[in-house]
């Protein structure tokens, strides 16, 4: 079973707390961080607010066949968007390419609501749009 396996029949999903525990946020705290957070929102959303340490590839680019950034290769991905719909689609696309990926339930809206960090393009306090 894979790191994200939760049975068959669709993409695996994790809560924002599970996502933080599996990504750079846990690694910074010394408690994990094997996975990479991939944000699939559009550029204006990404600029307004994102999780620190996330990498960005919009769903539109993934759907058009774009590759992943070097830091996302050979690592399991935790995929996030604003609310969870686009990330579900991105996980389907990535898994079809053989990439280990899981969707974040509730997306960046839930991430921010849980009190997890959101920064803007300058590293200041960001917002989820």
- DSSP structure string for 51-113: -TT-EE--HHHHHTT----GGGTTS-EEEE-SSSHHHHHHHHHHHHTT--EEEETTHHHHHHH
Tens-digit pLDDT profile for the chain (129 aa)?
344 444 445 669 999 999 999 997 654 444 445 899 999 999 999 999 999 999 999 999 999 999 999 989 989 999 999 999 999 999 999 999 999 999 999 999 999 999 999 999 999 999 999
The two tokens of residue 33 are 């961080």
CATH value of 13-113 in 1.20.1250.20, 3.90.1170.40, 3.40.250.10, 3.40.640.10: 3.40.250.10
């Amino acid at each position: 079973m894979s790191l994200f396996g939760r049975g068959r029949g669709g993409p695996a999903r994790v809560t924002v707390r599970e996502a933080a525990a599996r990504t750079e946020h846990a690694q910074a705290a010394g408690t994990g961080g094997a996975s990479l957070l991939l944000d699939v929102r559009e550029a204006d959303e990404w600029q307004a607010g994102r999780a620190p340490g996330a990498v960005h590839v919009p769903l539109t680019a993934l759907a058009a066949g774009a590759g992943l950034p070097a830091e996302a290769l050979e690592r399991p991905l935790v995929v996030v968007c604003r609310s969870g719909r686009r990330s579900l689609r991105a996980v389907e696309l990535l898994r079809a390419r053989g990439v280990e990926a899981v969707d974040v339930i509730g997306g960046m809206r839930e991430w921010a609501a849980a009190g997890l960090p959101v920064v803007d393009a300058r590293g200041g306090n960001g917002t989820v749009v």
